[in-house]
């Protein structure tokens, strides 16, 4: 499989998923509810990212939320601990055919 390809609106940040999303996570934390991100959680080895993004470390300082410095789209998050084997990729950066029919998992990030 060659993977799924997506990008931010202007194309500065390009993403490739080499795994197959089985569900899409919607989080209600203060930032996710504002950005409307739809997350696919993956091992970083299964994701390629090209382009220079800008990181934002928020709240509990456990993750960096990455966005395009040109168009502002939130593309993904990475753990601030490099040993943590998980990252989140915003599925909305891909064509809706990849994520529109996926079951939704609701994450109660507002309660943490």
End-to-end CA, the chain: 37
What total number of domains does the chain contain? 1
Residue-range definition of the domain harbouring residue 46: 4-111
Quote the pTM value.
0.93
CB 107 within 8 A of CB 25: yes
Taking residue 108's Cβ as centre, other Cβ atoms within 10 Å add up to 9
Cβ–Cβ under 8 Å, residues 21 and 41: no
| Nearest-10 Cα torsion for 55, 67, 70, 93 | 160
pLDDT per position in the chain (112 positions), as tens?
A: 479 999 999 999 999 999 999 999 999 999 999 999 999 999 999 999 999 999 999 888 899 999 999 999 999 999 999 899 999 999 999 999 999 999 999 999 888 7
For residue 17, the domain's CATH number is 2.170.150.70
Closest CA to 35 of 2, 74, 86: 74
Note the pLDDT of residue 110.
87
């Amino acid at each position: 499989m060659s993977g799924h390809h997506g990008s931010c609106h202007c194309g500065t940040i390009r993403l490739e998923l080499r795994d197959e999303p089985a569900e899409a996570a919607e989080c209600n934390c203060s930032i996710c509810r504002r950005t409307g991100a739809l997350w696919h959680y993956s091992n970083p080895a299964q994701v390629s990212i090209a382009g220079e993004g800008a990181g934002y470390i928020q709240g509990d300082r456990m993750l960096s939320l990455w966005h395009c410095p040109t168009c502002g789209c939130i593309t993904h998050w990475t753990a601030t601990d490099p040993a943590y084997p998980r990252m989140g990729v915003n599925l909305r950066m891909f064509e809706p055919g990849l994520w529109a029919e996926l079951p939704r998992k609701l994450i109660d990030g507002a309660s943490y």
